[in-house]
Amino acid sequence: MDKFFFKSAKINEFRLWGLIFTMAGMGVMILGTAGIVFWGQAGKIIAAIFMVIGMISLLISVIVYFWAGMMSTSATMLECPECGKPTKMLGKTDRCMFCKTMLTLDPAQATHLPRETTAASESNP
């Protein structure tokens, strides 16, 4: 599944992106401030630009964190069939937060179905 960047659960992935944007935002702002030291007057303009980029990055991280929080409330709680730990799923397909096993609610995408499969999904090959 190449739609997963880090081969982890979507919630964990969102948290990771949030962290990346926070770090990038702070890094850019520090770099911008350092510009004043290195380039003096010209550095101030660069610092201002970097400050804005940093602020945008931090804003994105807040949105990502907020979005992750919103999504985790609507996530499906289920017990992972592989490791037995309670995990959260976003959408129809997601990875287990603990053992990274691909989990799906869509019988058409399932590679193997659980034993308690009902007649509804038996029509699938």
User: Nearest Cα to 46, choosing from 24, 29, 22, 65?
Assistant: 29
Burial grade of 99 (CB within 10 A; 0-12, 13-18, 19 or more)? middle
Out of 22, 53, 82, 102, which residue is the one contacting Zn ion (CB under 5 A)? 82
Residue 89 interacts with Zn ion (CB under 5 A)? no
Out of 33, 43, 46, 98, which residue is the one contacting Zn ion (CB under 5 A)? 98
Residue 80 interacts with Zn ion (CB under 5 A)? yes
How many Å is the Cα radius of gyration of the chain? 21
Residue 102 interacts with Zn ion (CB under 5 A)? no
Question: Considering beta carbons, is residue 41 or 112 the nearer one to Zn ion?
Answer: 112
Give the range of 13-21, 41-49, 63-71, 83-91 binding Zn ion by CB under 5 A. Answer: 83-91
